[in-house]
Amino acid sequence: MTAYIPDSAIVIAGMSVEAPGGIDTPEDFYAALAAGADLIGPMPRDRDWDVDQVLALDAIPGWGAVPDAGGFLDGAAEFDPQFFGLSPREAAAMDPQQRVAMRVAWRAVENAGINPASLAGDEVGVFFGASLMEYGPRAASVNEYSGHRIAGTALGAVSGRISHALGLVGPSIVVDTACASSLTAIHQAAAAVRAGECDWAIAGGVCVMASPAAFVEFSRSNALAKDGRCRSYSAGATGTVWGEGAGAVVVETAATARAAGHRIYGVIAGSRVNHNGGGGPIVVPSAQAQRRVVDGALKASGIDAAAVDVIEGHGTATLGDPMELDALAETYGDARGPENPATVGSVKSNAGHAQAAAGVLGLIKVLQCGRNGTLVPSLYADDPTDKIDWGTAGLRLATQTEPWPARDGRRIAAVSSFGVSGTNAHLIVDMPEATRV
């Protein structure tokens, strides 16, 4: 069966990814997830971190243990400055997030079948999610990299470097909504293309930890997993595990994709971003706000909640998981019922919490699963949390690699990201099995 995509639909026509475990292609990413790979490894010893001090934080009264574990990028320090027209000194002064973002943006454009070197002067937008990661000495210090530190540490330069390297003249924006950053960036990119602000856009997110600050903060909050594994939605969850990653997608209208002969991985059928509002502490999630953002994305998509088979959740293995599951049960679960539950999982169980890049990694996981017609397991799902009643919730955890059959020629999934700043993002992606021009 074929599925028609209207010319005005916003589609994903290219993608790229870098993930822990040396993964640098969407195909390798999918293969690792399908195999149920554990991509967590020890903390890097080549970043000038005082690892011994970090691992001893639990000696301070009231602080939690920090496991020697995380989802780290093998190639975070690798970069060819001459390829992007940069001097080695300028490249060294650049936040590694800028370098990795440039790589994945270039590859996403190539994946779409576009020559990145042919784009100078084009009205192409760049929307990237990123957060500050404390790279290098303070810009006010005098050192051999002075003169390059302003651009090298500016958060806006994550997208600016991509636009500059490719010669793009469309909007170039960095989004920081903490852990919701990359999905928020994709939401904004889709809106910009829809509004005609740019012909098409590169969107995604990046996270490379230049300091162990996230481990220190969560040690003080006693929110790190004791065993160094992110057990999303599991009864055995004891906290989260920090990770890194980067991903980019090419966003354009279906008409643009067809005219250029680009493949269509999926349609961004609807997306929404909201905030928890006031009340409790800013870091505490809100099930009510999550229900609102899901309802808003579904309304924007025009898709019935019962048609959504797969939900790539946030799943940080912290106190937010039961709230998230409650929100999903009251939206997707209620629509589908216990006899036909939606499947829930999280890539964080494999690779840790990639923070600003978390949402785009989840999206690429979903796109690859749709492309292969296969559901992949969420690790530790054989021990589901008892904080919800799975028998009535209309949800089930993804426990194994299994077929994902198309329904009426389509596979429909949802992706969630929730930020510690109180921002929530949700995206509905519709993946036609085949398209009719």
Residue 303 per-residue DSSP state: -
Give the residue carrying structure tokens 């008892």: 386
Helices (H), 169-319: 181-194, 213-220, 254-260, 287-301
Q: In this structure, are residues 289 and 391 in contact, taking their beta carbons and an 8 Å threshold?
A: no
- Read off φ and ψ for residue 246, nearest 5 degrees: -155, 145
Residues linked to residue 155 through DSSP beta bridges, in sequence order: none
Residue 37: Cβ within 10 Å count: 17
307-320 burial: b if 16+ Cβ within 10 Å, else e: bbbbbbbbbbbbeb
Closest alpha carbon to 251 in 108, 415, 361:
108
252-288 burial: b if 16+ Cβ within 10 Å, else e: bbbebbbeeebebbbbbbbbbbbbbeeeeeebebbbe
Q: In this structure, are residues 194 and 251 in contact, taking their beta carbons and an 8 Å threshold?
A: no
**Rounded to an integer, what distance in angstroms lies between the CA atom of residue 294 and that of residue 275?**
12
**Rounded to an integer, what distance in angstroms lies between the CA atom of residue 367 and that of residue 436?**
19
Written as one letter, the residue type at 199 is D
User: At 16, is the secondary structure helix, strand, or coil?
Assistant: strand
User: Catalytic site residues?
Assistant: 179, 314, 353
CA distances 436 to 37, 133, 281, 372, 411, Å, are 36, 45, 49, 19, 16
Residue 19 per-residue DSSP state: B
User: What is the enclosing helix (H) or strand (E) of 160?
Assistant: helix 157-166
